[in-house]
Amino acid sequence: MAALFTLNDVSKSFVRGSDTITIFDKLNMQIEAGDFVAIMGPSGSGKTTLLNMLGGVDGPTSGEIDFDGTRIDQLSENQLSRWRADNVGFIFQFYNLMPMLNAARNVELPLLLTSIKGKDRKARVDAALALVGLADRAKHSPNELSGGQQQRVAIARAIVSDPKLLLCDEPTGDLDRATADEILGILQSLNEKFGKTIVMVTHDPQAAKYAKRTLHLDKGAFVEEVAA
Amino acid sequence: MLNQIAAIIAMNVKSLPRRANMSVAAVAAIAAVVAVLLGFLAMANGLQQTISGSGSDDFAIILRANSSSELNSTLTKDQQDLIALAPGFARGPGGRPLVSRESYVIVDGIKKSSDTKANIPLRGMSPEGVALRSGVRVTEGRMFEAGLNELVVGAGVLREFAGFEMGKEIRFGRSVWRVVGVFEAPGSVFESELWADIKVVQGQFNRGASVQTMRAKLAVPGDISTPAAYIENEPRLNADIKTERTYFAGQSQGTQQLVTLGWALGIAMALGSLSGALNTMYASVQARTRDIATLRTLGFGGFATFVGTVVESLVLAAIGGLIGGVVAFLFLDGITASTLSGSFTQVVFAFDLSPQLLADSVVLALVIGAVGGIFPAWRASRLPLTAAFGR
Amino acid sequence: MTDFSLVLRNLTRKPLRLGLTLFAIFMAFLILTVLIAFQLGFDRAVEATSEERLVTISKINFTVNLPIGHVSKIRATEHVEQVAYADWFGGYFKEPSEPLVMFAVSPEAYLELYDELIMDDDARAAFLQNKQAMVMGEGLMREYGFKVGDRVPMRSNIFQHRDGGNTWELDLVGTFRADDPAVDTRYIIFHHDNFNESRTFGRDTVGWVIIKADNPANNDAVMAAIDAQFANSPNETSTSTEKAFQRAFVAQIGNIGLIIMSVVGAALFVILMIVGNAMMMAIRERTGEIAVFKALGFRSGRIFAMVLGESLMLSLIGGLAGLAVGAVLVGVAASAIPPLAFMVVSTEVMVVTLAVMLALGVVTGFFPARTAMNTTIITAFQKH
């Protein structure tokens, strides 16, 4: 398989007051297309920062991040917006649905960033909702849905524009075990049936088991790699 | 891009009720500003319309030189006769010049609204006088008859003052008058007057043969040059001639102060409510930090976020402006009020809210909205995307 | 660390919001101060007129003159102690659009009746002895740049001088002032004799007669006696106290003042409500923190006081700044715009404004403070 992501000597540091806090120092990694990677590690290990950099939400201090031939660390903010809209679906710990929009409209949001119109849009929204098993909840607003249902809407939103990559930030962190397993099952099938590349940050070893491989981060470095 | 902007605007506007408290506060602040501004402007507009609207180019008014108003003017019998001979006045049947000799006496009336005494002008005029005013219509009864103690009452006097109904007898000092008619002269100061025969007024108020002013119909509307030259060259005359329009325009200068006062207050209050609007919008951006960051993470652009927030603020401002306008319209438009005019008499006028004024104040509201939106919008478009993650 | 410094910390935690809220309060109180100064000043100017002096005018209207013969008949009326008379000159200096309040009066009696006017003895003597003399309010003299000793051509927009023209040359021999700023001194008086014999029409009439009874208790009797005396004559009269006369004149300005005041008052109320709302929101946001304070063992009463103190402080800081700037503005306006000279930020104005500030602080603080006081500690452990 070809490498979807290639990170070369990526460093990231923050200046806080008079201190410089280094999170990554010359990190190197590759993520193949079609992979499902779980990233685990203690708080402050830099796993969310890594995810942010992969999603172009945060940039590295130095080093290269190559996505499928594009140096995303060199893109302008507007180019990054465009790139994210085309290539990345995000799934957040707290779902981040728009409270004033119903489920279908929340799912439709990313399509506003594409040239897809009218009927096609509706078809895609319906398909995405059906895929996460919420076809019957399309008209419900987020506050009428349970946490698990909200996260499923969020997954539908992440896949509706058919991006290659899904980035998940603690997707089950706010859910009970059974619901978490449902959500992880959906992610797994998206990876297996639809070939989505998934990078998932998690605290939960159970969740990590759904991934093809798990990377353990500690103090900005991978400590071991375990194949699933 | 338009898609994005439209979607963000729609979301922002839809989410307004979720922040009802602050939104209502901003709307109310702006509504208050607009209502106050409109109140003043409508009052000034109404007063000005009434005073300057009284003037036409068809007629001329002759006053003693340097008299600022009718009350201060006097013309002796000799002067009146000389003025009547002036060229440049229109002539009636038989070639007689169309002029009216008019005296102006101030009498007391009882105001209905406050039950207090207030000054009303009683105008004595020649029988030609009525024809020398535009838009006068007798709506009840008839005109006064020469030589009799008869009054016709302006509709404004009838509205604001007690005891001037048809057929009533009225005492001014020792003289007794009977109301024989009511006239309308829409939107002019004449509606605030009482009219009677000049000779009777002169007799009853010990005026001898002198009058305050004369009034004439001009042969060429707007052109006073011919009679003015005559008056100038006649050494026995010490008089000014003005078109009716010029005369009343001069009388309405005081209303400009109301307009200035209105704008000064309006702007002072606008500054106060601007900080209210800014607070609301900053709070709105803050409350939506996660939403905004999420949208940006999904790929929505910073510009769309910016525009969306500005439009949200403009929508609030427009609602506020509209409410202020409607409140002002419902409660203030058409209110009749009366006040002292330059000549110490009551002028009755109605608050007049013109579309232009409404437009002006809505513009003020939108300016508040724009300024109140831009800074928070800037902040919204600069929010770190990482705010979408975690708590 | 004291409770006070805690309150300060809370207040300044969001400097932007604090600044904006303070500015709104500041503007509201600035406007309020100017308005109250205007309203109270205006009322006081009316109230400063005398209850003791009586004024007789023509029953037709005060612009209609009375024959001068009325004066001696009034003087002869029972219980009348002193009588003066005056006439409206319709004066101006150079600019007809800037009229001057100018009365032709019976000098000695007028000054006796208006004893609130303070004049040097020299000026008084010079005024009484020179028929061509006039005196004016000190402020008015400064405003026009006249000097004592000037001979000033005063013009009338009503009367003609028998020598032709409308100009009366008058000697400015002195000024008067008053201790009470509410007493209007922005006017000119000169000799009625001089005026009466030199005008071309209106001879031997007076505009109004001013009367003082031997005892204020006899005022009603005097008023009735005067008007009865002239009933059914060609020149009937109407007599009232000066204050009643002044009130009636002010009432003529009409409901405009009332409308302006109610519109602006309503708008100010709305602004204050909005500020109050913002203040309440600011405190409500902190319910969780307040619960933590409770968890730490702070007593409810103390929390109540701290929240109330915060809103009071906010209201007072913004309000006092508004009052201060408003006072400066009123001072500038009163000296720069002579017709507004009656405006003054008196103790009364300050008290009223301060009361509104305290009310704003208490009202906006009370409800959130009560909520804060009743917050249960559990709130601290819930997500919000």
**Over residues B91-113, mean pLDDT:** 87
| Token pair for C187 | 């006017």
Q: Kindly tell me if the per-residue pLDDT of B343 is higher than 70.
A: no
Decide if B67 and C157 are in contact by the 8 Å CB cutoff: yes
Q: Is C60 exposed, middle or buried (0-12, 13-18, 19+ CB in 10 A)?
A: buried
B151 — pLDDT class (breaks 50, 70, 90): very high
C254 — pLDDT class (breaks 50, 70, 90): low
B125 — pLDDT class (breaks 50, 70, 90): very high
Nearest Cα to A184, choosing from A200, A165, A164?
A200
Q: Are B111 and B211 in contact (CB under 8 A)?
A: no
Query: Chain C residue with minimal CA distance to B118?
Result: C252
Give C235's DSSP letter: S
Decide if C259 and B39 are in contact by the 8 Å CB cutoff: yes
Residue of C46, C60, C199 to mutate, interface with B, max B Cβ within 10 Å: C60
Nearest Cα to B197, choosing from B158, B148, B164?
B148
Residues of chain A with C-beta less than 8 angstroms from the C-beta of B387:
none
Q: Does A81 contact chain B (CB < 8 Å)?
A: yes
Q: Are A49 and A11 in contact (CB under 8 A)?
A: no
What's this model's pTM, rounded to 2 decimal places? 0.74
pLDDT digits (tens, 9 = 90+) for C86-121: 999 988 898 877 788 899 999 999 999 998 999 999
What is the amino acid identity at position A162?
D
Q: Are A49 and A214 in contact (CB under 8 A)?
A: no
Decide if B294 and A81 are in contact by the 8 Å CB cutoff: no
C377 — pLDDT class (breaks 50, 70, 90): low
Q: Kindly tell me if the per-residue pLDDT of B63 is higher than 50.
A: yes
Chains B and C touch (3+ CB pairs under 8 A): yes
Decide if B332 and C23 are in contact by the 8 Å CB cutoff: no
Decide if B290 and A96 are in contact by the 8 Å CB cutoff: yes
From B261's Cα to the closest Cα of chain A, the distance in A is 44
From B306's Cα to the closest Cα of chain A, the distance in A is 13
Interface of A with B in 143-202 (CB under 8 A): 157, 169
Decide if A85 and B299 are in contact by the 8 Å CB cutoff: yes
From residue B169, alpha-carbon distances to B149, B152, B176, B180, C93 in Å are 10, 12, 7, 10, 43
Sign, Cα dihedral of A78, A82, A88, A93:
positive
Q: Kindly tell me if the per-residue pLDDT of A182 is higher than 90.
A: yes
> Which of these ranges, A126-140, B342-356, C149-163, has the smallest mean pLDDT?
B342-356
From B292's Cα to the closest Cα of chain A, the distance in A is 9
Residue of A53, A84, A98 to mutate, interface with B, max B Cβ within 10 Å: A98
Q: Are B69 and B342 in contact (CB under 8 A)?
A: yes
Rounded CA-CA distance B105/B125 in Å is 11
Sign, Cα dihedral of A190, A193, A194, A196:
positive
User: φ, ψ for residue A163 (rounded to 5)?
Assistant: -75, 160
Q: Does A79 contact chain B (CB < 8 Å)?
A: no
From B132's Cα to the closest Cα of chain C, the distance in A is 25
Decide if A82 and B391 are in contact by the 8 Å CB cutoff: no
Rounded CA-CA distance A146/A176 in Å is 11
From C71's Cα to the closest Cα of chain B, the distance in A is 18
| Token pair for B269 | 């209050």
Which residues touch B237 (CB under 8 Å, ≥6 apart)? B79, B82, B83, B231
Residues of chain B with C-beta less than 8 angstroms from the C-beta of A48:
389-390
Between β-strands C167-176 and C133-137, what pairing exists: parallel, antiparallel or unpaired? Answer: parallel
Domain count, chain A: 1
Rounded CA-CA distance C120/B132 in Å is 56
Chains C and A touch (3+ CB pairs under 8 A): no
Decide if B385 and A92 are in contact by the 8 Å CB cutoff: no
**DSSP letters for B283-328:** HHHHHTHHHHHHHHHHT--HHHHHHHHHHHHHHHHHHHHHHHHHHH
CATH number for the domain spanning A87: value is: 3.40.50.300
Rounded CA-CA distance B247/B70 in Å is 10
User: φ, ψ for residue A5 (rounded to 5)?
Assistant: -115, 135
Q: Does B263 contact chain C (CB < 8 Å)?
A: no
From residue C343, alpha-carbon distances to B173, C34, C36, C320 in Å are 38, 8, 9, 19
Q: Which three-class secondary structure state does DSSP give residue C10?
A: helix
Give strand ranges (E) for B72-148. Answer: 99-111, 117-125, 137-141
**Over residues B37-61, mean pLDDT:** 83
From B22's Cα to the closest Cα of chain C, the distance in A is 7
Range of the domain at A200: 3-227
What per-residue confidence (pLDDT) applies to A181? 94
Rounded CA-CA distance B142/B152 in Å is 8
| Token pair for A203 | 């605290």
What per-residue confidence (pLDDT) applies to A107? 93
HSE-CB for A175 with a 13 A CA cutoff: 26
B54 — pLDDT class (breaks 50, 70, 90): confident
> Which of these ranges, A69-73, A201-205, B117-121, B164-168, has the smallest mean pLDDT?
B117-121
Residue of B43, B237, B252, B275 to mutate, interface with C, max C Cβ within 10 Å: B275
Nearest Cα to B203, choosing from B174, B161, B169?
B174
What per-residue confidence (pLDDT) applies to C118? 93
What is the residue-averaged pLDDT of chain B? 85
User: φ, ψ for residue C278 (rounded to 5)?
Assistant: -60, -40
| Token pair for A79 | 């180019």
**Over residues B329-333, mean pLDDT:** 84
pLDDT digits (tens, 9 = 90+) for C35-93: 888 888 878 877 777 778 999 998 888 878 899 999 999 999 999 999 999 999 988 89
Q: Which three-class secondary structure state does DSSP give residue A64?
A: strand
Residues of chain C with C-beta less than 8 angstroms from the C-beta of B66:
96, 155, 157, 166
What per-residue confidence (pLDDT) applies to C379? 63
Nearest Cα to B190, choosing from B309, B15, B347?
B347
The ipTM assigned to this model is: 0.80
Decide if B302 and A157 are in contact by the 8 Å CB cutoff: no
From B94's Cα to the closest Cα of chain C, the distance in A is 35
Residue C114: count of CB within 10 angstroms of its CB: 19
Decide if C271 and B31 are in contact by the 8 Å CB cutoff: no
What per-residue confidence (pLDDT) applies to A38? 95
Count CB pairs under 8 A between chains B and C. 161
The four Cα atoms B47, B48, B49, B51 give a dihedral, to 10 degrees, of: 90
Decide if B114 and C251 are in contact by the 8 Å CB cutoff: yes
From residue A146, alpha-carbon distances to A153, A154, B251, B290 in Å are 11, 12, 73, 19
Residue of C252, C283, C332 to mutate, interface with B, max B Cβ within 10 Å: C252
User: φ, ψ for residue B87 (rounded to 5)?
Assistant: -75, 160
| Token pair for C260 | 């302006």
Closest CB to A112 among B4, B290, B294 = B4
Instruction: Specify whether the backbone of B161 is left (phi greater than 0), alpha (psi in -120 to 50) or beta.
Output: beta
What per-residue confidence (pLDDT) applies to C384? 41
Decide if A110 and B388 are in contact by the 8 Å CB cutoff: no
Q: Are B17 and B337 in contact (CB under 8 A)?
A: no
Rounded CA-CA distance C31/C265 in Å is 10
Q: Which three-class secondary structure state does DSSP give residue B248?
A: helix
Q: Are B386 and A58 in contact (CB under 8 A)?
A: yes
* Residues in a beta bridge with C241: C54
Residue of C30, C56, C61, C163 to mutate, interface with B, max B Cβ within 10 Å: C61
Q: Which three-class secondary structure state does DSSP give residue C384?
A: coil
Rounded CA-CA distance B270/C377 in Å is 42
Choose between C294 and B167: higher pLDDT. B167
Q: Measure CA C8 to chain center.
A: 39
Q: Kindly tell me if the per-residue pLDDT of B376 is higher than 60.
A: yes
Residues of chain B with C-beta less than 8 angstroms from the C-beta of A159:
none
Number of residues that this document lists for chain A: 228
Closest CB to A82 among B11, B18, B299 = B299
Q: Are C99 and C90 in contact (CB under 8 A)?
A: yes
Rounded CA-CA distance B265/B262 in Å is 5
Nearest Cα to A162, choosing from A108, A88, A92?
A88
Decide if A57 and B386 are in contact by the 8 Å CB cutoff: yes
Element (H, E) at B63: strand B59-64
From A91's Cα to the closest Cα of chain B, the distance in A is 10
The widest CA-to-CA distance across chain A, in whole angstroms, is 56
Q: Does B275 contact chain C (CB < 8 Å)?
A: yes
Decide if A113 and B18 are in contact by the 8 Å CB cutoff: no
Decide if A98 and B299 are in contact by the 8 Å CB cutoff: no
Roughly how many angstroms between the first and final C-alpha of chain A, as a whole number?
17
Tokens 């405003």 identify what position?
C143
Residues of chain A with C-beta less than 8 angstroms from the C-beta of B294:
90, 92, 96, 98
From C256's Cα to the closest Cα of chain B, the distance in A is 7
